[in-house]
Amino acid sequence: MSDELDFNPGDIVIDQEIDEGSPAYVTALPDAIAEEWVYEDEEGEEITVAEDNPDYPADARVVVVVHTPDVHYALPDWNRYTPLSPSELEEAGAPYYAFPAPRLIRDKECPNAPEIQRAIGISRNVDILTTRMGDMTGSGEKLVDVDPEQLRQQLRTETDAKAAKQLTVALLYEAGFSPYTIDDLLGFPVQTSYNWLNTVAERDITALGDAPRTGRPPRLSPDQFDQLTATLVASPFDAGIDAPAWTPPLVRDYITDTFGVKYSLAHVYRVMHKAGLSVQTARPIHYEADPEAQRHWRAEFKKSGRR
Protein backbone atom coordinates (compact mmCIF):
# COMPACT_ATOMS: atom_id res chain seq x y z
CA MET A 1 0.00 0.00 0.00
CA SER A 2 1.33 3.43 -0.89
CA ASP A 3 2.13 6.10 1.69
CA GLU A 4 -1.09 7.50 3.13
CA LEU A 5 -2.20 10.87 4.40
CA ASP A 6 -3.16 11.00 8.04
CA PHE A 7 -6.93 11.33 7.94
CA ASN A 8 -9.41 10.70 10.73
CA PRO A 9 -13.22 10.56 10.83
CA GLY A 10 -14.46 14.10 11.27
CA ASP A 11 -11.62 15.78 9.37
CA ILE A 12 -12.75 18.35 6.84
CA VAL A 13 -11.06 17.81 3.49
CA ILE A 14 -10.96 19.39 0.06
CA ASP A 15 -10.53 17.80 -3.37
CA GLN A 16 -7.19 18.99 -4.75
CA GLU A 17 -8.42 18.69 -8.33
CA ILE A 18 -11.32 21.11 -7.91
CA ASP A 19 -10.69 24.83 -7.72
CA GLU A 20 -12.51 26.16 -4.68
CA GLY A 21 -13.88 22.69 -4.06
CA SER A 22 -16.66 22.18 -1.54
CA PRO A 23 -15.47 20.98 1.87
CA ALA A 24 -16.42 17.46 2.87
CA TYR A 25 -16.29 15.39 6.04
CA VAL A 26 -14.26 12.19 6.23
CA THR A 27 -16.89 9.71 7.40
CA ALA A 28 -15.09 6.39 6.98
CA LEU A 29 -11.68 4.89 6.28
CA PRO A 30 -12.57 1.45 4.90
CA ASP A 31 -10.00 -1.32 4.84
CA ALA A 32 -9.73 -1.16 1.05
CA ILE A 33 -7.48 0.27 -1.63
CA ALA A 34 -8.46 2.11 -4.78
CA GLU A 35 -8.27 -0.90 -7.10
CA GLU A 36 -10.57 -2.89 -4.77
CA TRP A 37 -13.37 -0.36 -4.19
CA VAL A 38 -16.10 -0.80 -6.80
CA TYR A 39 -19.17 1.36 -7.43
CA GLU A 40 -21.55 2.18 -10.27
CA ASP A 41 -20.90 5.26 -12.39
CA GLU A 42 -23.63 7.51 -13.78
CA GLU A 43 -24.30 5.06 -16.61
CA GLY A 44 -24.71 2.17 -14.16
CA GLU A 45 -21.42 0.55 -15.12
CA GLU A 46 -19.16 -0.89 -12.44
CA ILE A 47 -15.88 0.95 -12.02
CA THR A 48 -13.13 1.02 -9.41
CA VAL A 49 -11.81 4.09 -7.64
CA ALA A 50 -8.45 3.37 -9.28
CA GLU A 51 -9.94 3.30 -12.78
CA ASP A 52 -11.72 6.58 -12.13
CA ASN A 53 -8.54 8.16 -10.73
CA PRO A 54 -5.72 6.95 -13.00
CA ASP A 55 -3.33 9.69 -11.84
CA TYR A 56 -3.17 8.25 -8.32
CA PRO A 57 -1.66 4.98 -7.03
CA ALA A 58 -3.91 1.97 -7.48
CA ASP A 59 -2.96 0.81 -4.00
CA ALA A 60 -3.86 4.12 -2.34
CA ARG A 61 -6.13 3.94 0.68
CA VAL A 62 -9.80 4.70 0.01
CA VAL A 63 -11.35 7.59 1.93
CA VAL A 64 -15.14 7.97 2.09
CA VAL A 65 -16.41 11.55 2.33
CA VAL A 66 -19.73 13.41 2.44
CA HIS A 67 -20.18 17.04 1.45
CA THR A 68 -20.99 19.05 4.55
CA PRO A 69 -24.49 20.32 3.61
CA ASP A 70 -25.59 16.82 2.59
CA VAL A 71 -24.75 15.16 5.88
CA HIS A 72 -26.16 17.99 8.01
CA TYR A 73 -29.41 17.77 6.07
CA ALA A 74 -29.66 13.96 6.15
CA LEU A 75 -28.32 13.52 9.70
CA PRO A 76 -28.76 16.81 11.59
CA ASP A 77 -27.90 15.23 14.97
CA TRP A 78 -24.76 13.48 13.76
CA ASN A 79 -21.59 14.00 15.78
CA ARG A 80 -19.06 14.58 13.00
CA TYR A 81 -16.33 12.67 14.85
CA THR A 82 -18.35 9.44 14.89
CA PRO A 83 -17.57 7.25 11.84
CA LEU A 84 -20.44 6.57 9.42
CA SER A 85 -20.34 3.47 7.26
CA PRO A 86 -21.50 3.59 3.62
CA SER A 87 -24.55 1.51 4.57
CA GLU A 88 -25.51 4.05 7.26
CA LEU A 89 -25.12 6.89 4.78
CA GLU A 90 -27.24 5.07 2.20
CA GLU A 91 -29.95 4.45 4.77
CA ALA A 92 -29.99 8.16 5.66
CA GLY A 93 -30.07 9.19 2.00
CA ALA A 94 -26.76 11.07 2.19
CA PRO A 95 -24.73 10.92 -1.05
CA TYR A 96 -21.19 9.77 -0.31
CA TYR A 97 -18.07 9.54 -2.43
CA ALA A 98 -14.90 7.47 -2.37
CA PHE A 99 -11.51 8.94 -3.29
CA PRO A 100 -7.92 7.77 -3.22
CA ALA A 101 -6.39 9.41 -0.15
CA PRO A 102 -3.67 11.37 -2.02
CA ARG A 103 -6.36 13.27 -3.94
CA LEU A 104 -7.61 14.90 -0.75
CA ILE A 105 -6.04 17.47 1.56
CA ARG A 106 -7.16 18.42 5.02
CA ASP A 107 -8.54 21.93 5.33
CA LYS A 108 -5.89 23.58 7.49
CA GLU A 109 -8.38 26.16 8.73
CA CYS A 110 -10.57 23.49 10.31
CA PRO A 111 -10.11 21.72 13.64
CA ASN A 112 -8.06 18.56 13.92
CA ALA A 113 -10.47 15.73 14.58
CA PRO A 114 -8.52 13.70 17.21
CA GLU A 115 -7.90 16.76 19.40
CA ILE A 116 -11.51 17.88 19.42
CA GLN A 117 -12.82 14.30 19.60
CA ARG A 118 -10.81 13.82 22.76
CA ALA A 119 -12.45 16.85 24.31
CA ILE A 120 -15.93 15.70 23.28
CA GLY A 121 -15.26 12.27 24.74
CA ILE A 122 -14.19 13.91 28.00
CA SER A 123 -17.32 16.06 28.19
CA ARG A 124 -19.56 13.05 27.49
CA ASN A 125 -17.97 11.06 30.30
CA VAL A 126 -17.84 13.89 32.81
CA ASP A 127 -19.76 11.95 35.47
CA ILE A 128 -16.96 9.37 35.58
CA LEU A 129 -14.19 11.94 35.48
CA THR A 130 -15.62 14.17 38.20
CA THR A 131 -15.09 11.41 40.74
CA ARG A 132 -11.37 11.52 39.96
CA MET A 133 -10.79 15.29 39.71
CA GLY A 134 -10.26 17.35 42.83
CA ASP A 135 -10.37 20.93 41.56
CA MET A 136 -13.72 21.09 39.81
CA THR A 137 -15.57 24.38 40.07
CA GLY A 138 -18.92 22.65 39.71
CA SER A 139 -20.59 25.93 38.88
CA GLY A 140 -19.80 27.46 35.48
CA GLU A 141 -20.60 30.98 36.75
CA LYS A 142 -18.96 32.66 33.76
CA LEU A 143 -21.52 31.17 31.35
CA VAL A 144 -24.76 31.57 33.29
CA ASP A 145 -26.63 32.91 30.24
CA VAL A 146 -25.23 30.35 27.77
CA ASP A 147 -27.25 27.27 26.80
CA PRO A 148 -24.99 24.16 26.81
CA GLU A 149 -27.18 22.47 24.20
CA GLN A 150 -26.60 25.35 21.79
CA LEU A 151 -22.87 24.97 22.41
CA ARG A 152 -23.09 21.28 21.50
CA GLN A 153 -25.11 21.97 18.36
CA GLN A 154 -22.65 24.62 17.22
CA LEU A 155 -19.65 22.36 17.87
CA ARG A 156 -21.16 19.66 15.65
CA THR A 157 -21.04 21.99 12.65
CA GLU A 158 -18.23 24.42 13.53
CA THR A 159 -15.47 24.63 10.90
CA ASP A 160 -13.26 27.31 12.47
CA ALA A 161 -10.42 25.69 14.44
CA LYS A 162 -10.22 28.32 17.17
CA ALA A 163 -13.98 28.50 17.54
CA ALA A 164 -14.13 24.71 18.00
CA LYS A 165 -11.57 24.95 20.80
CA GLN A 166 -13.48 27.80 22.46
CA LEU A 167 -16.71 25.77 22.32
CA THR A 168 -14.95 22.72 23.74
CA VAL A 169 -13.53 24.70 26.67
CA ALA A 170 -16.97 26.20 27.32
CA LEU A 171 -18.64 22.78 27.34
CA LEU A 172 -16.07 21.34 29.72
CA TYR A 173 -16.37 24.38 31.98
CA GLU A 174 -20.16 24.05 31.98
CA ALA A 175 -19.71 20.39 32.92
CA GLY A 176 -17.69 21.37 35.97
CA PHE A 177 -14.08 21.34 34.78
CA SER A 178 -11.92 24.21 35.96
CA PRO A 179 -9.49 25.91 33.54
CA TYR A 180 -6.70 24.21 35.51
CA THR A 181 -8.13 20.78 34.81
CA ILE A 182 -8.74 21.71 31.18
CA ASP A 183 -5.06 22.65 30.98
CA ASP A 184 -4.14 19.18 32.29
CA LEU A 185 -6.51 17.44 29.87
CA LEU A 186 -6.03 19.40 26.66
CA GLY A 187 -2.97 21.58 27.19
CA PHE A 188 -4.82 24.89 26.82
CA PRO A 189 -3.15 27.44 29.17
CA VAL A 190 -5.31 28.52 32.10
CA GLN A 191 -5.42 32.18 31.07
CA THR A 192 -6.28 31.20 27.50
CA SER A 193 -9.25 29.19 28.77
CA TYR A 194 -10.43 32.14 30.87
CA ASN A 195 -10.13 34.44 27.85
CA TRP A 196 -12.08 32.00 25.70
CA LEU A 197 -14.81 31.68 28.33
CA ASN A 198 -15.17 35.46 28.30
CA THR A 199 -15.39 35.37 24.52
CA VAL A 200 -18.14 32.73 24.57
CA ALA A 201 -20.04 34.71 27.21
CA GLU A 202 -19.82 37.99 25.29
CA ARG A 203 -20.33 36.87 21.68
CA ASP A 204 -22.99 35.00 19.80
CA ILE A 205 -21.84 31.37 19.60
CA THR A 206 -21.96 31.60 15.80
CA ALA A 207 -19.42 34.44 15.91
CA LEU A 208 -16.43 32.83 17.60
CA GLY A 209 -12.92 32.22 16.27
CA ASP A 210 -10.44 34.64 14.74
CA ALA A 211 -12.59 36.49 12.20
CA PRO A 212 -12.83 40.24 12.86
CA ARG A 213 -15.97 41.03 14.83
CA THR A 214 -17.75 44.27 15.61
CA GLY A 215 -20.10 43.28 18.39
CA ARG A 216 -22.82 40.73 17.77
CA PRO A 217 -23.33 39.61 14.16
CA PRO A 218 -26.24 41.17 12.27
CA ARG A 219 -29.67 39.70 12.80
CA LEU A 220 -32.90 39.80 10.83
CA SER A 221 -35.25 42.57 11.84
CA PRO A 222 -38.84 41.59 12.77
CA ASP A 223 -40.06 42.76 9.36
CA GLN A 224 -37.33 40.79 7.60
CA PHE A 225 -38.17 37.68 9.61
CA ASP A 226 -41.84 38.02 8.66
CA GLN A 227 -40.80 38.34 5.01
CA LEU A 228 -38.59 35.27 5.33
CA THR A 229 -41.39 33.26 6.95
CA ALA A 230 -43.78 34.16 4.13
CA THR A 231 -41.16 33.05 1.62
CA LEU A 232 -40.41 29.73 3.32
CA VAL A 233 -44.05 28.62 3.54
CA ALA A 234 -44.17 28.87 -0.26
CA SER A 235 -42.20 26.84 -2.78
CA PRO A 236 -38.59 27.81 -3.59
CA PHE A 237 -39.77 28.16 -7.20
CA ASP A 238 -41.87 31.15 -6.10
CA ALA A 239 -38.63 32.81 -4.95
CA GLY A 240 -36.91 32.07 -8.27
CA ILE A 241 -34.94 29.10 -6.91
CA ASP A 242 -34.85 25.84 -8.87
CA ALA A 243 -35.24 23.37 -6.02
CA PRO A 244 -38.04 21.01 -4.93
CA ALA A 245 -38.20 22.34 -1.36
CA TRP A 246 -36.36 24.43 1.20
CA THR A 247 -33.29 22.93 2.85
CA PRO A 248 -31.06 24.54 5.51
CA PRO A 249 -28.26 25.32 3.01
CA LEU A 250 -30.79 26.88 0.62
CA VAL A 251 -32.31 28.96 3.40
CA ARG A 252 -28.88 30.11 4.53
CA ASP A 253 -27.98 31.24 1.01
CA TYR A 254 -31.35 32.94 0.56
CA ILE A 255 -30.94 34.90 3.82
CA THR A 256 -27.43 35.99 2.82
CA ASP A 257 -28.42 37.00 -0.73
CA THR A 258 -31.66 38.73 0.23
CA PHE A 259 -30.89 40.36 3.57
CA GLY A 260 -27.09 40.42 3.72
CA VAL A 261 -27.11 38.44 6.97
CA LYS A 262 -24.81 35.44 7.35
CA TYR A 263 -25.90 32.59 9.59
CA SER A 264 -24.25 29.28 10.40
CA LEU A 265 -26.16 26.14 9.44
CA ALA A 266 -26.75 25.44 13.12
CA HIS A 267 -28.49 28.80 13.49
CA VAL A 268 -30.43 28.32 10.25
CA TYR A 269 -32.00 25.19 11.79
CA ARG A 270 -33.19 27.35 14.68
CA VAL A 271 -34.50 30.05 12.32
CA MET A 272 -36.44 27.44 10.33
CA HIS A 273 -37.89 25.99 13.53
CA LYS A 274 -38.93 29.47 14.68
CA ALA A 275 -40.56 30.03 11.30
CA GLY A 276 -42.60 26.87 11.80
CA LEU A 277 -40.64 24.62 9.45
CA SER A 278 -38.54 21.54 10.02
CA VAL A 279 -36.18 19.62 7.79
CA GLN A 280 -38.92 17.03 7.33
CA THR A 281 -41.60 19.55 6.27
CA ALA A 282 -39.19 21.72 4.32
CA ARG A 283 -38.23 18.84 2.06
CA PRO A 284 -41.04 16.28 2.15
CA ILE A 285 -39.77 14.31 -0.83
CA HIS A 286 -36.11 13.39 -1.07
CA TYR A 287 -34.59 14.57 -4.31
CA GLU A 288 -33.55 10.98 -5.16
CA ALA A 289 -37.24 10.02 -5.34
CA ASP A 290 -37.72 12.24 -8.38
CA PRO A 291 -35.78 11.03 -11.46
CA GLU A 292 -35.70 14.52 -12.99
CA ALA A 293 -34.46 16.07 -9.73
CA GLN A 294 -31.90 13.29 -9.46
CA ARG A 295 -30.56 14.03 -12.95
CA HIS A 296 -30.38 17.73 -12.09
CA TRP A 297 -28.54 16.93 -8.85
CA ARG A 298 -26.01 14.72 -10.58
CA ALA A 299 -25.38 17.26 -13.31
CA GLU A 300 -24.86 20.01 -10.75
CA PHE A 301 -22.15 18.10 -8.93
CA LYS A 302 -20.64 16.13 -11.78
CA LYS A 303 -17.48 18.21 -11.73
CA SER A 304 -17.14 18.55 -7.98
CA GLY A 305 -15.53 15.17 -7.27
CA ARG A 306 -18.75 13.45 -6.20
CA ARG A 307 -18.98 9.68 -6.53
What is the 3 state secondary structure string of 125-188?
CHHHHHCCCCCCCCCCHHHCCCCHHHHHHHHHHCCCHHHHHHHHHHHHHHHCCCHHHHHHHHCC
Q: Is the pLDDT of residue 231 over 70?
A: yes
Residue 287 lies in a domain: yes
Q: Is the pLDDT of residue 68 over 60?
A: yes
Residue 6 lies in a domain: no
Mean of the pLDDT values across residues 174-188? 78
Query: What pLDDT sits at residue 288?
Result: 41
Boundary residue ending a domain (168, 202, 236):
202
The number of distinct structural domains making up the chain is: 3
Q: Is the pLDDT of residue 36 over 90?
A: yes
* Domain span including residue 93: 12-106
Q: How many residues does the chain have?
A: 307
Verify that 93 and 47 share a domain, yes or no. Answer: yes
Side-chain-side CA neighbours of residue 132 (13 Å): 8
CA-wise closest residue to 30 among 124, 133, 99: 99
